[in-house]
A and B are shown apart, each in its own frame.
Chain A
C-alpha cells in the first residue's frame, strides 16, 4: 500500500507543478484564467495554448522519458553510476545534431531528431565495443565520460570554427525548453510507444539484478535483454536530446530517488521513476524561468546544479 500512496502523492505533485508551470511566467495567470485560456475566445488563449501548454507538456514527456531511460540503463548494467548522459549517449546525440546544423545548414530541422538518434546509437555502440559487457561499474562510467569529453571537444571545435551558426547550436546545446512548441511535442509522441515495451521488460530486469549466472539459470537471456533494454533507452534519450538538448543528470538522479522511495522492483520502480522525472524537470524549468525574469536560464543548467552534488554523494556511497 505504501508505494501506492506515494505514487498518488507524486502524481498530485505533478498536477500542481503543471498548474504552476501554466500560471507563472512573464504574466502570472490565475487558475480561472488558465482554464478559460483553453477556449480560443479568451485573451490568454495565445499564451496558454501556443506557449505554455506545449512547453509544459514537453517537460512532462521529456522528464518522464529521460528518467525511464536512466532507470533502464542503471538496471541493466547493474551500475548505480550509469545513466545515458554519463555513458556519453547524450553527448553523442548532441555531436550529431551540431554536425548537422553546422556542416549542412540547409537541411531541414526535422532531420535533427534522426541525426541525434543516429549519434546516440553510434555512441552507445562505440562504448560497447570499447568496454565489452564485462566491465566494472567505474570503468564503464569513466570510459563513457572520456568518450563524452571527446564528443564535446569536437562540438566545441565545430562551434568555434564556424561562428556563424553558433547561436543556433548554443541555444540547443544548453538543454532548454525555451521556444519549444507543438511541432516538438508532435516529434516526441511516436517515441512514447517505447514505454510499454520498457514495462514489458520489467520482470526480466528484476532478474538481471541477481547477476548474470542466476538470471541465466532463471531462464533469462542476458545478452538479448541487455541489447533490448539499451536500445530502447538510447532511442528515448536520443529523442529527448534531439528536442530539448542534453538535460544533464536527470536520467541519473530521477531513478535513484525513485529507488529510494519505492525500492528496486522494476514493476513499481519504472512508473515511479517516470513521475519523479516529470516532477524534477517541471520544477527545474519553473525555477529556471522565474529566478530572474525576463532572463531565462536553461532548465539543463538547473538539473546539473542539483544533479552534480547528488552524483558526488552517490560516488561517496558506491563501494
Chain B
C-alpha cells in the first residue's frame, strides 16, 4: 500500500481500474449454481453463443448485476465525497445524514399507499424522501455554518434516521401486503438486477457522475471555508444547490435500484483521500472507481458467504463499514 501511494495519480487510477475489472470478471463466473468457467465468462462477452447455457447466465443474469453493482457503488461513493466537502465534515455520508432512511420512508410511503406508480414513482419518492430528510438534518445540525461541530450534524442525522425508520416500519405493519417488497429493498441487494433496470439507471447515473466531476474544482474552494471561497469568486449558494441536487440524484437513483446500502459513501472517500490528499479533482474519479470495485467485490462475497443462499450485499458492507465508522468517530471528533 505504501508503495502504491507513491505511484503517480494516473498509474493509481489504471491499477485500480484493473482491480475493478478483475473483480468484475471474477463476479461473472464464481459461485454459480450452473457451472461457468473463467474463459466462458470472457467468451460470453466477446463472442456470445446462444447454444451455451453458461453464456446466457453470464449475459442475462451476471453482467447486468455486475454493471449495476459497480455503478451503484460509484454513485454512492461520489455522493459521499461531495457531502463531505459540502459540509466540511469527515463523518458526512448518505447513510449517516439520514438520506438513506428518508429515501426508504419515501419508497415505503409510495409502495404502500400508491403501489401502481411503478419504478419511476418509486425512485422519485426515494429522491424526494431523501431530500426532505437531508434538508431537516442540515438545518437542525447547523451544517451550513460549517465549523467544527461534526458531532451535532451526525446526531441530527441519527435522530432523523430513527424517526424515518419508525414511521416506515409503522407503514409496513399497517399495510402488510406490501411488506415483503419493502423489507427486501431495505436489506440492500443487487440480486434482482436486470437489463431493464440498467437501461433506466445508467443514463441518469453517468450524467450525474459527469456533473460531479465537473463540479470538483468548485468543491475544492468550499474546503477553504466560506469567506475564502467567496473571495476566490465561488458562488456559494449555487454551488450548494447544484451539489445537493447531484447528491440527491446519485443517492436516490442508486438506492431505488439496489436498496439501502450504507457506509460506502463514508468509507470510500476516506480511502481515496488517504491516497491522493484533499484535491477533489483527483478524489472524485478515484472514489468512483474504488466505490465500484468495493461493491462488486462485496456482491461476489455475498454469494459466497453462505453458498448457495444469497446474503444481501448491504449486510456485508455494513459489517465492513460500521467498525470504520467507529474508527472515524474516534479520530475525527473533538
User: Interface residues, chain A, CB within 8 Å of chain B?
Assistant: 81, 130, 136, 138-139, 141-143, 145-147, 149-150, 153-154, 156-157, 160-161, 174, 248-249, 292, 295-298, 300-302, 304-305, 307-309, 311-312, 315-316, 318
Contacts and interface: CB of A to CB of B under 8 A. Distances in A.
Nearest to A318: B152
A307 to B, nearest CB: 8
B306 interface: yes
A161 B315 contact: yes
Interface in B233-248: none
A174 B165 CA distance: 11
Contact of B154 (A145, A161, A174): A145
Nearest to B315: A157
Nearest to B316: A157
Interface in B130-184: 136, 140-141, 149, 151-152, 154-156, 158-160, 162-163, 165-167, 169-170, 173-174, 176
Contacts of A316: 140
Contacts of B173: 295-298, 301
A161 B311 contact: yes
A138 B156 CA distance: 11
B156 A146 contact: no
Interface of B: 91, 136, 140-141, 149, 151-152, 154-156, 158-160, 162-163, 165-167, 169-170, 173-174, 176, 187, 262, 305-306, 309, 311-312, 314-316, 318-319, 321-323, 325-326, 328-330, 333-334
Given A143-B326, A161-B309, A304 B319 contact: no
B321 to A, nearest CB: 8
A143 to B, nearest CB: 5
Contacts of A138: 149, 151-152, 155, 333
A312 B315 contact: no
Contacts of A141: 151, 155
A147 to B, nearest CB: 6
Contact of A311 (B159, B167, B325): B159
B158 A145 contact: yes
A142 B155 contact: yes
A295 B175 CA distance: 10
B323 A150 contact: yes
12 contacts: A138-B333, A141-B151, A145-B155, A149-B322, A156-B315, A160-B312, A160-B315, A304-B162, A304-B163, A309-B163, A312-B159, A316-B140
Q: Which of A154, A308, A316 has the most CB of B within 10 A?
A: A308
Nearest to A304: B166
Contacts of A136: 334
A295 B176 contact: yes
A283 to B, nearest CB: 16
Nearest to B149: A138
Contact of B170 (A130, A139, A149, A297): A297
B127 to A, nearest CB: 22
Given A295-B173, A315-B156, A157 B151 contact: no
Contacts of A302: 166
Contact of B334 (A139, A296, A298, A312): A139
A292 B174 CA distance: 8
Contact of A305 (B166, B312, B322): B166
